[in-house]
């Protein structure tokens, strides 16, 4: 009797912890709730360890991830898998066995807020493996260095070094890469790195070989407006909550974490910020760049007076290498001829992606916008058991299909 009572109390506590009111329309809400509970408990344990001074919250999570999720370079009959250094950066290579002699190639950057995860995690390993197999392409999944040990521009520089090596004659010859059919890609913070790499390499006229395409999966592209329509709409939708994204940004830029409330108030992009030219604002003016259906009833939050000097103190906030949405139109026009931008309705970063797709299109790039009305941030890598979601499988299939048809 007593046991049953304890059992039901425990069960209610778990249900209370897991249950979360979710917007109607999101794909398989119960799975998302469980995923969120898992993420939240990791974050909480990390916070406790951090507060006790045991270790940085991020290190603990990465430690757990590497115990549970990171797997060795296991080859299978269809794909040869090995760990190499690409431009000095640890990278896992997935190379199809047999097939075409000259192969398409994708250099891929994983997500995780520039601080978490690895291309050697089970989920990313499976994604790369499937890409290699389905596309008969060589996939190179790059493990750039992570925050807090390394901050901007460290991650960006690793991504650049790996991408330059990927395009080099030596690597192309060694892996049989077709110089006409190479793509740069990534999801979330990895999409940020992929976009930044695509821009920087577009400006380098000394390159012999260029990317044919860039494929960005729910990328994070700007840190000036934390009140875009999608930030407002999805502020409490898992798994990427609004304050968590602000924290990831501050950590990536090596800024004081105490700036978080200020960023969330849009005080850093107030009209009295001397360091913020008006031209930058127009590049993320979602009232002009988004269709009305996405803007809905949301209103922009533009402060006349904020916290002056923040942009001067954290100049990376307006650095295009950190925030690719701020690029000039002329730069966008020179990026790879074809672009794919995946966005999810239930994602604070939806409008980062939608605005970038629109600006690329305005600059003359052939853009495929792939929007998931029931998608949530991170869904594409939750396409396998035990966290297999329907929108995850659909988005992964469509992403791979786009690469097949456009690369």
Ligand X SMILES: *[C@@H]1O[C@H](CO)[C@@H](O)[C@H](O)[C@H]1NC(C)=O
Active site residues: 188, 347, 377
Based on the shown chain and the rule CB under 6 A, indicate whether residue 269 belongs to the binding site for ligand X.
no
d(CA 403, CA 247): 32
Specify whether the CB–CB gap between 17 and 238 falls below 8 A: no
Site for ligand X in 153-212 (CB under 6 A): none
Per-residue tokens: 91:
């990278």
Binding segment for ligand X (CB under 6 A), chosen from 19-27, 53-61, 215-223, 260-268, is 260-268
Beta carbon nearer to ligand X, 253 or 354: 253
Based on the shown chain and the rule CB under 6 A, indicate whether residue 273 belongs to the binding site for ligand X.
no
d(CA 313, CA 58): 24
Based on the shown chain and the rule CB under 6 A, indicate whether residue 306 belongs to the binding site for ligand X.
yes
Among 25, 88, 257, 261, binds ligand X (CB under 6 A): 261
In the complex, what is the shortest distance from the CB of residue 227 to ligand X, in angstroms, rounded to a whole number?
13
Binding segment for ligand X (CB under 6 A), chosen from 240-248, 300-308, 351-359, 370-378, is 300-308
* Degrees to nearest 5, angle at CA 47 with 42 and 52: 130
Specify whether the CB–CB gap between 221 and 323 falls below 8 A: yes
Pairing relation of β-strands 103-109 and 79-86? unpaired
Based on the shown chain and the rule CB under 6 A, indicate whether residue 250 belongs to the binding site for ligand X.
no
Based on the shown chain and the rule CB under 6 A, indicate whether residue 75 belongs to the binding site for ligand X.
no
Binding segment for ligand X (CB under 6 A), chosen from 1-9, 249-257, 258-266, 384-392, is 258-266
Binding segment for ligand X (CB under 6 A), chosen from 184-192, 239-247, 303-311, 364-372, is 303-311
Among 49, 262, 302, 363, binds ligand X (CB under 6 A): 262
Based on the shown chain and the rule CB under 6 A, indicate whether residue 302 belongs to the binding site for ligand X.
no
Among 267, 269, 273, 343, binds ligand X (CB under 6 A): 267
In the complex, what is the shortest distance from the CB of residue 225 to ligand X, in angstroms, rounded to a whole number?
15
State the Cα torsion 141-147-151-152 to the nearest 10°.
Answer: 50
Based on the shown chain and the rule CB under 6 A, indicate whether residue 324 belongs to the binding site for ligand X.
no
Quick one: 330 exposed, middle or buried, by C-beta within 10 A (0-12, 13-18, 19+)? Answer: exposed
Binding region for ligand X (CB under 6 A): 261-262, 265, 267, 305-307
């Amino acid at each position: 009797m007593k046991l049953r009572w304890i059992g039901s109390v425990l069960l209610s506590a778990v249900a209370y912890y897991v249950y979360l009111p979710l917007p109607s329309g999101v794909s398989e809400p119960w799975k998302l709730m469980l995923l969120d509970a898992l993420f939240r408990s990791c974050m909480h344990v990390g916070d406790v360890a951090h507060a006790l001074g045991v270790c940085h919250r991020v290190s603990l999570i990465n430690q757990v991830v590497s115990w549970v999720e990171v797997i060795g370079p296991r080859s299978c009959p269809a794909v040869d898998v090995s760990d190499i250094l690409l431009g000095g950066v640890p990278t896992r290579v997935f190379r199809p066995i047999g097939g075409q002699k000259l192969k398409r190639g994708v250099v891929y950057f994983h997500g995780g807020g520039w601080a978490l995860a690895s291309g050697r995690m089970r989920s990313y390993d499976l994604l790369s493996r499937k890409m290699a197999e389905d596309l008969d392409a060589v996939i190179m999944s790059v493990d750039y260095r992570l925050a807090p040990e390394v901050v901007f521009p460290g991650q960006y520089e690793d991504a650049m070094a790996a991408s330059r090596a990927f395009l080099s004659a030596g690597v192309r010859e060694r892996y049989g890469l077709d110089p006409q059919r190479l793509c740069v890609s990534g999801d979330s913070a990895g999409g940020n790195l992929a976009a930044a790499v695509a821009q920087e390499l577009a400006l380098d006229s000394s390159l012999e070989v260029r990317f044919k395409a860039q494929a960005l999966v729910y990328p994070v592209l700007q840190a000036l407006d934390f009140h875009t329509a999608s930030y407002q709409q999805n502020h409490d939708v898992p798994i990427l909550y609004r304050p968590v994204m602000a924290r990831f940004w501050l950590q990536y830029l090596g800024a004081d974490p105490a700036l978080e409330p200020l960023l969330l108030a849009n005080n850093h992009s107030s009209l009295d910020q001397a360091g913020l030219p008006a031209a930058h604002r127009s590049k993320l003016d979602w009232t002009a760049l988004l269709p009305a259906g996405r803007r809905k009833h949301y209103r922009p939050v533009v402060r006349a007076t904020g916290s002056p000097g923040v942009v001067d103190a954290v100049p990376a906030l307006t650095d295009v290498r950190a925030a690719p949405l701020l690029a000039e139109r002329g730069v966008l026009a020179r990026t790879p001829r074809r672009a794919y931008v995946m966005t999810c309705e239930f994602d604070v970063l939806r409008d980062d992606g939608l605005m970038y797709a629109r600006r690329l299109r305005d600059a003359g790039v052939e853009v495929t916008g792939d929007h998931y009305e029931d998608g949530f941030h991170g869904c594409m890598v939750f396409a396998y058991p035990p966290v297999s979601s329907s929108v995850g499988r659909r988005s992964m299939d469509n992403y791979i299909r786009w690469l097949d048809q456009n690369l």
